Structures are given as C-alpha cells and as structure tokens.
Amino acid sequence: MSTNRITAAIRTAAVAALIGLPALGLAGAAVAHPGPHPPAADPIVGSEGGGCSENRVGVDGDTGEQLSCRRGPDGAGAWSGTDGRIVGVHEFGSPCDPALDERSQTPEGREIMCTPTDHQWQYDA
C-alpha cells in the first residue's frame, strides 16, 4: 500500500472516531454539557452568609454552590444557599406553571419566582 493510501486511511479512521465521540460523551471540551443551572449573566461570587446588595443569583467561591441574595428584616442582604431551587433562565413576566416551576432567573441573573395566581415569572416580594 502506498504512503498516500495509508495516510488517507488513517485520516478516514480518525475522522470516523471523532464523529462518534460526541455520541459517547467523550469529546471533552468540544461538546457542551450544560449543568442543571446554566448561568444567565456572569454570576456574582460570594460566600454563604456573606453580605450582598443586589437581587441576584450568585455562586459560592469556595464550593461552587448556587447562592441567592436574601434581605433580612433589617433590610441588609446576605447570601443564602438555594438548595437547587433556582432552575433555568426565563424572561420577567413570561408564563410559568406553578405546579412545576418555583424559582428561576432572568437573563440578567436576577432571581424570579413563579406566582401561583398570575402564572407569571415575577420578582419576589
């Protein structure tokens, strides 16, 4: 077999193998695998219990867990864990199903909730 035919055969085998890798989940960084909570905007890095000032979804810089900025009775904000309840990205005011949806975030990273009466994504009161 000539060198050109061997090279072509190797290329063909390599291309065939690479085409099959995404289906097996083995293509590494070339295949995007979104997590359960894809970020909307760049998340704010904080730590649970630390101070915050915006109604935003954040991420714990030490654990990578999702955080939410919650206001206390004194009006001060503190990062709190979400237990995975903030799911997906939705537009403010768009329809939702309160039987299925609890909390989400806007494309800007602001936390929203599905209202049981209006069936719309709204900011938490």
**What pLDDT, in 10s, does the model give residues 67-76?**
999 888 888 9
Whole-model pTM? Answer: 0.61
Mean pLDDT by 10 residues, the chain (125 residues): 44 38 37 42 86 88 92 89 90 94 92 94 82
* Count of other CB atoms within 10 angstroms of residue 99: 9
Predicted confidence at residue 21, as pLDDT, reads 34
Which positions ≥6 away from 81 have C-beta within 8 Å? 48, 60, 65, 66, 67, 68
Residue 80 and residue 50: Cα distance in Å, rounded? 8
Residue 30 and residue 20: Cα distance in Å, rounded? 13
What pairing do the DSSP bridges indicate for beta strands 111-114 and 121-122? antiparallel
Predicted confidence at residue 40, as pLDDT, reads 60
Burial of 86 (0-12, 13-18, 19+ CB in 10 A): buried
